[in-house]
Amino acid sequence: MPINRQILIEAARLRAESETLRLPDAIHLATARVHHCTFFLTNDKRLGTLPDIHIVILSEPDV
């Protein structure tokens, strides 16, 4: 998905709410949120949680 102004604004908001979220991660999560994704697949355990997106850590067993 191309990055647009809405995604960048959402990424800035996500970074403002998090002390550890890096800009590339914020852009990825903002893109998922703007496009109404319900799942985010990653191996990055540092991402944390979002209320409207279920973050799935691929290296963790399904519980």
pTM of this prediction? 0.85
Asked whether residue 47 is domain-assigned, the answer is yes
Closest residue by Cα to residue 5 from 43, 29, 31: 31
Closest residue by Cα to residue 30 from 47, 19, 57, 59: 47
Q: In total, how many domains does the chain have?
A: 1
Asked whether residue 24 is domain-assigned, the answer is yes
Asked whether residue 63 is domain-assigned, the answer is no
pLDDT at 63 over 80: no
- Residues 1-58: tens digit of each pLDDT: 899 999 999 999 999 998 889 999 999 999 999 999 999 999 988 887 888 899 999 9
Q: What is the pLDDT of residue 52?
A: 87
Asked whether residue 52 is domain-assigned, the answer is yes
How far is it, in rounded angstroms, from Cα 16 to Cα 37?
Answer: 21
pLDDT at 61 over 80: no
The domain containing residue 13 runs over which residues? 5-57
- For residue 5, give both structure tokens: 């102004």
Q: What is the pLDDT of residue 23?
A: 94
Asked whether residue 62 is domain-assigned, the answer is no
